[in-house]
């Protein structure tokens, strides 16, 4: 029987729109955008921020990949909170599941730096019963140890949990750990799959 639902945050409970953000910041400058994308995301450099490394150390590593773009990269770092946007359906969805008696948790690759740049997008957190941010445990999905971390923290039986994430690699890792797992593509699709899973768990 399902008792607990575990949510990723970015791409599930809030929008994370890097592509829109970077194109708004540097409209029409596709070559520059490609360079910035490569510097920020190449070799998963940005993941070190989510893993709790010091922001200036992470930024220095990114800038070292494209030193001639330091000014533009610093502008990105300063305004990165604009990649995030609330989803109006989120509090309604969480409140409904809470009213149905489920424990709600979060398991998110997230950094304190980005949180501070746009704290308002997380105003739904009081509707949840707790969770794990990657930066606080210095582990990031899909590392198996972060799934073990949330299981230990909340004494979870994985077979009684549903894990929802937008990234296939994280969903697979959650499933391999033992969670029931759903890849978020759209809200309607996810709600349909989740409700079917919850109904099956009651039968």
Give, for all 203 residues of the chain, the pLDDT tens digit: 999 999 999 999 999 999 999 999 999 999 999 999 999 998 889 999 999 999 999 999 999 999 999 999 999 999 999 999 999 999 999 999 999 999 999 999 999 999 999 999 999 999 999 999 999 999 999 999 999 999 999 999 999 999 999 999 999 999 999 999 999 999 999 999 999 999 886 65
* Closest by Cα among 56, 19, 11 to 36: 19
- Among left, alpha and beta (phi > 0; psi -120 to 50; other), residue 30 is alpha
DSSP state of 166: S
At residue 42, the pLDDT reads 87
At residue 153, the pLDDT reads 98
At residue 202, the pLDDT reads 64
At residue 203, the pLDDT reads 52
Residue found under tokens 């930024």: 59
Distance from the first to the final alpha carbon of the chain: 8
Residue spans of the domains in the chain: they are 4-15+85-202, 17-83
Q: What SS3 class is residue 147?
A: helix
At residue 201, the pLDDT reads 61
Q: What is the pTM of this model?
A: 0.94
> What's domain 4-15+85-202's superfamily in CATH?
HAD superfamily/HAD-like (3.40.50.1000)
H or E element, residue 34: helix 30-41
Contact call for residues 141 and 163 (beta carbons, < 8 A)? no
């Amino acid at each position: 029987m399902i008792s607990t639902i575990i949510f990723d945050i970015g791409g599930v409970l809030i929008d994370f729109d890097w592509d829109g953000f970077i194109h708004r910041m540097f409209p029409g400058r596709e070559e520059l955008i490609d360079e910035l994308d490569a510097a920020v995301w190449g070799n998963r450099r940005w993941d070190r921020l989510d893993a709790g490394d010091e922001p200036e150390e992470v930024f220095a590593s990114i800038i070292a990949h494209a030193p001639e773009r330091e000014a533009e990269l610093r502008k990105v770092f300063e305004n990165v909170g604009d990649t995030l946007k609330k989803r109006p359906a989120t509090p309604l969805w969480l409140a409904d599941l809470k009213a149905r008696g489920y424990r709600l948790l979060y398991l998110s690759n997230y950094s304190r730096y980005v949180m501070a740049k746009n704290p308002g997008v997380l105003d739904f957190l009081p509707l949840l019963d707790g969770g794990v941010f990657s930066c606080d445990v210095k582990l990031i999905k899909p590392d198996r140890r972060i799934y073990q971390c949330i299981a230990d923290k909340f004494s979870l039986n994985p077979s009684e949990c549903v894990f929802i994430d937008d990234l296939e690699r994280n969903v697979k890792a959650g499933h391999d750990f033992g969670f029931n797992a759903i890849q978020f593509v759209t809200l309607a699709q996810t709600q349909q799959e989740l409700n079917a899973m919850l109904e099956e768990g009651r039968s």
